[in-house]
Structure 1
């Protein structure tokens, strides 16, 4: 019996695959547990429409991330940090502080986990912070750290 998988099934196939299984396995395991549906013309057409819709949504998400990335790269965020004698910096600027400053100054809600800051910023000046907006889109945010 031909079956279209609705979920990944170990040692059988991935979601959306059309596989050939024995009738008993399909009736007793795949269909009752909702892991797949019979591969008839209607279900094949539904699968095709669902894949087309998912591709369209993925394309829209990519375009939105690219537009948001351009918007982020055009702007900058400024933070202040305490500085002692001889230009020695007390503390550092973390991704959490950058995310809060972006929300306060620019009005964008960016998750601190999306910021690819290798280590906290411990110096004055301008630093480019990469922000991963989408698996295919990474934007650079300009962070200006100045003396408080």
Structure 2
């Protein structure tokens, strides 16, 4: 190694020395063999995907310094030797295993659907929909509350999907206050004892 180091030093001095005539003729390619070892690429296996380098599990070539100073301390890559390659293959099998699950779809009966309708109707009847509006000087809403907006707010706030025809709202709401909007639900949904119809409570407040 000492002879190799002396050879590289001598080569640099000869190249820099302009007084030596025809110095290029004494430069042999073998003198650069030791210097090329420093720039040899290493094959590594990536443990995680790195932009512009490769995906996890791929084998790539990187500079030794990049691997030693960046990839290896952060466990972003491991040397491409049989021991690490075997571990990476087993890890990929473990995390990429596709489990086949058999899902049996049980068709809903009429009773199940009726229970869902009743649950949704009770939720609408017991809840109170809250809306906020800007008002004018005469205490009227700048933008009235329409039937389509009530349908959208029922889906957003209560998680129940209804149609505009399920609401009995002859005209939009134009003032602040609490309102009780009748619901037009199928007659097959039984009403609780003491109630004459399903309704949705709506409260419009100042914004």
Larger radius of gyration: 2
Secondary structure of 1:96's counterpart equals: helix
* 1:124 to partner: Cα distance: 0.6
Matches within 5 A, 1:25-64: 57=110, 61-64=113-116
Indicate conservation of the 8 Å contact 1:65/1:134, yes or no.
Answer: no
Name 2:86's counterpart in structure 1: none
For 2:116 and 2:124, locate their aligned partners in 1 and report how far apart those are by CA, in whole Å.
Answer: 12
Contact kept? 2:120, 2:160, Cα under 8 Å: no
Tell me which of the two structures has the higher relative contact order, counting C-alpha pairs closer than 8 angstroms and 6 or more residues apart. Answer: 1
Count residues with an aligned counterpart.
92
Higher share in strand: 1
Task: Report whether the alignment pairs 1:93 with 2:152.
Answer: no
State whether structure 2 residue 136 is matched by structure 1 residue 84. yes
> What is the Cα-based RMSD across aligned positions, in Å?
2.1
Give the corresponding residue for 2:165.
113
Q: Give unpaired runs (5+ residues) of structure 1.
A: 1-55
Cα distance in 1 for partners of 2:163, 2:137 equals: 34
1:67 equivalenced with 2:126 (yes/no): no
TM-score, structure 1 as length reference: 0.54
Q: TM-score under structure 2 normalisation? A: 0.40
